Structure 1
Amino acid sequence: MKQTAALVSLATSVPPHQFHQNQILAAARGVMADRYPEFETLASLFAHTGIRHRYGVMPIEWYLERRGWPERTKAFLEGAEKLFVDAARKALARADTAASDIDTVVTVCSTGIATPTLEARVAALMGFRSDVSRVPVFGLGCAGGVSGLAIAARLAQSRPGTNVLLVALELCTLAVRHDQLTKANIVAASLFGDGAAAVVLRAGDGGMTRVEASGEKLWPATLGIMGWSVDPEGFGVIFQRTIPDFVQEHMGDAVAEMVAKMEFSLAEIDRFICHPGGAKVIVALERALSLQQGALDHERDVIADYGNMSAPTVLFVLERALAQGMPPRSLLTALGPGFTASCVALRHAA
């Protein structure tokens, strides 16, 4: 029987610049209102996200100017490297593990391009060994925290006793666009923030919380629901307004299907820990999963404090659940480009 991977530690990090939601609305109005007649109609979106504040790698003045690929990439590399190191060092300290003891690094990020990838760029600063295995993962978007955890757990399980470091990091704010006067861009401006989470996993010993199983569901003909377009200025958000409706209609059956393949039932799940895509998505998840209204309390708290940070957000929710005390079995879920649902079952020892 294979030994399952344990979560040895979890840590989160955000960049230094905090933006209040009203501050972002004022900035967006100053940039777009004169050129986009529908802006004031859509401005109510900012008040209905459930977000109080969120964080960005650059001061708010940076976002008020139109930026191209070189400026975005420079900001991404500088901000992402700092955030990676901070989150990873916290997780290593909590695991009482040195960077030189890490055997595999899984880096999940879809909001910037770096070659060499982020873990290579910070390797000397972190103190990783020269023979560390690097697994960069791009393109999972909001599903990246859950799918990345599943990947890291399988790598740990394949080599019991080795240490795997997962870092999920996204700088969503750098994709702000002045030229795309669309509802999708306004929605993105009202929701997204920057953040990182790091997890140390090990199979074979220790750890109260273990990765029991994982699953994914890819729906056909759904490429246009969520993702990036790419043009000379940078990434452009693809974000359909039908996402909450899609979640409510399809997520329940998808989770039931994935859980059945894990050989247990929905009734055996004590708590759902979900990626909170937005206030409407949280409500849709509660309905799709037949949860009581308000059951996803950590999810609402995280989106209020940080906004939607894409991949790492669900790990911020998990951090709060761990601090409160985990039930015997929890299911992490997230949705991302593809359109894809991803889930990880966690087993917690009392």
Structure 2
Amino acid sequence: MTVYLHSLSTCVPPHALPQGEVARRAHEILGPRFKGFERLAPVFETSGVEMRYSVAPFDWFETAGGWTDRNARYMAGATELYIDAATQALAHAGWTADQVDILVTVSSTGIATPTLEAQAKVAMGFRDDCLRVPLFGLGCAGGISGLNVARELAAANPQARLLLVVVETCTLSFRKARPKKADIIATILFADGAAALTLSGEETDIRIGRGASRTWDDTLPIMGWEVDEDGLAVVFDRSIPDFVTSEMRSAADSACAEMGLDRAEIGRIVSHPGGAKVVDALETSLDLDVGMLDVERDILREFGNMSAPTVFFVLERILQRGDMAGSGRPLLACALGPGFSAAFTPIYPG
């Protein structure tokens, strides 16, 4: 069955974190605790990030507690983001919440049981009999992996209307008791945000193709979370940009072959911008002209790395400026995440 995109919406929480102010406060909080801070401090300026948004105000980061405090912030902030993104997506699709049959929720930055779509049920007005499909642990690849799962569910249920919501509150992983290099990089890059998409078999001008994925052996330590009394602590291996440079081309070519595409047919890559070095590595690996991933850099600069939803901020802007409609050629959305893994989705003019 053919699956179509009806709407895409994005949103961020209310607390703005200008990068200059983040750098100043990080120097005050982390500088005395981490002897390598001064060596990493220039990355605040070279990261490509100028603004981010958080579910917590600046003062929270100075007094952030352990699991209880952090997860309470996640539950409140992620639920608000879910409702905001979902409400916008439904309005743009011309749907009401009680017309949705399947709810797919992607989030890996906190623990919600019952899950976020249940937390938001009353406020949204979802039906009692909705199929709920929460996905956890996919990290930055969660947006595209979630879209692939949502697309398969929509294809298997021809009469269903499906809502995919992707929510992450990465800033809540801020660490001051155990500052490591990865924690400093996270402080430089991480942000919060959400995206929502509506899908069904009812024809629109954007078609979602069957996706593909790749997980490499012996790469578990490259990216993920460590868990301790304070909550979730990021794992970023320094090898990520080099790994992307050496591996992404073959992964993309294999994915395209599996999806029945020649990479030469693709009008534009739509990528999750994990960081400035990763964007550079993607252009190198995929033989793209330098600067071709301009929207990815713009989103990174304006919003930071929000993990799973970020690629949809990129996709939304590319669709708004008419790249696909103008060329008549498909887009290839992709993202990298823990595993170490890559996920791909082809997006066609309807």
Asked whether 1:307 is paired with 2:304, we answer yes
RMSD: 0.8
Query: How far did residue 264 of structure 1 move?
Result: 1.9
Which residue of the partner structure matches residue 25 of structure 1?
23
Greater displacement, 330-339 / 59-68: 59-68
Pick from 243, 253, 258: which aligns with 1:246? 243
Q: Which AA in structure 2 matches 1:202?
A: S
Query: How far did residue 261 of structure 1 move?
Result: 1.1
Please give the residue correspondences for 1:312-327 in structure 2 after superposition, counting only pairs within 5 Å. Answer: 312-325=309-322, 326=324, 327=327
Query: How far did residue 300 of structure 1 move?
Result: 0.6
Query: How far did residue 242 of structure 1 move?
Result: 1.2
1:210-245 CA-to-partner distances (Å, cap 9, x unmatched) read 111200000000000000011111011111111111
Identity of aligned pairs, percent?
47
Asked whether 1:86 is paired with 2:87, we answer no
Pick from 279, 293, 296: which aligns with 1:296? 293
1:84-141 CA-to-partner distances (Å, cap 9, x unmatched) read 0000000000000000000000000000001000001111110000000000000000
Q: Is the 8 A contact 2:166 2:196 kept in 1?
A: yes
Give the TM-score normalised by structure 1.
Answer: 0.98
Which residue of the partner structure matches residue 146 of structure 1?
144
Q: Which AA in structure 2 matches 1:98?
A: T
Which residue of the partner structure matches residue 206 of structure 1?
203
Q: Is the 8 A contact 2:151 2:199 kept in 1?
A: yes
SS state at 2:211 partner: strand
SS state at 1:64 partner: helix
Pick from 266, 272, 277: which aligns with 1:275? 272
Q: Which AA in structure 1 matches 2:87?
A: R
What is the alpha-carbon distance in structure 1 between the residues aligned to residue 296 and residue 175 of structure 2? 27
Query: How far did residue 34 of structure 1 move?
Result: 1.2
What is the alpha-carbon distance in structure 2 between the residues aligned to residue 102 and residue 35 of structure 1? 49
SS state at 1:308 partner: coil
1:150-180 CA-to-partner distances (Å, cap 9, x unmatched) read 1111111111131100000000000101122
Which residue of the partner structure matches residue 337 of structure 1?
338
What is the alpha-carbon distance in structure 1 between the residues aligned to residue 59 and residue 3 of structure 2? 44
Query: How far did residue 181 of structure 1 move?
Result: 1.9
1:33-90 CA-to-partner distances (Å, cap 9, x unmatched) read 1122211111011111111100000111101114101101111111011110000000
Please give the residue correspondences for 1:155-166 in structure 2 after superposition, counting only pairs within 5 Å. Answer: 155-166=153-164
Please give the residue correspondences for 1:45-64 in structure 2 after superposition, counting only pairs within 5 Å. Answer: 45-64=43-62
What is the alpha-carbon distance in structure 1 between the residues aligned to residue 29 and residue 150 of structure 2? 41
Which residue of the partner structure matches residue 71 of structure 1?
69
SS state at 1:206 partner: coil
Q: Which AA in structure 2 matches 1:333?
A: C
Q: Which AA in structure 2 matches 1:263?
A: G
What is the alpha-carbon distance in structure 2 between the residues aligned to residue 348 and residue 241 of structure 1? 38
Asked whether 1:227 is paired with 2:224, we answer yes
Structure 2, gaps ≥5 residues long: none
Which residue of the partner structure matches residue 95 of structure 1?
93
Q: Is the 8 A contact 1:31 1:64 kept in 2?
A: yes
Query: How far did residue 286 of structure 1 move?
Result: 0.5
Asked whether 1:4 is paired with 2:5, we answer no
Asked whether 1:259 is paired with 2:259, we answer no
Which residue of the partner structure matches residue 237 of structure 1?
234
Aligned pair count reads 346
Which residue of the partner structure matches residue 136 of structure 1?
134
Q: Is the 8 A contact 1:213 1:346 kept in 2?
A: no
Q: Is the 8 A contact 2:144 2:343 kept in 1?
A: yes
1:235-283 CA-to-partner distances (Å, cap 9, x unmatched) read 1111111111110010000010111111221111111000000011001
Q: Is the 8 A contact 2:151 2:210 kept in 1?
A: no
Query: How far did residue 206 of structure 1 move?
Result: 2.2
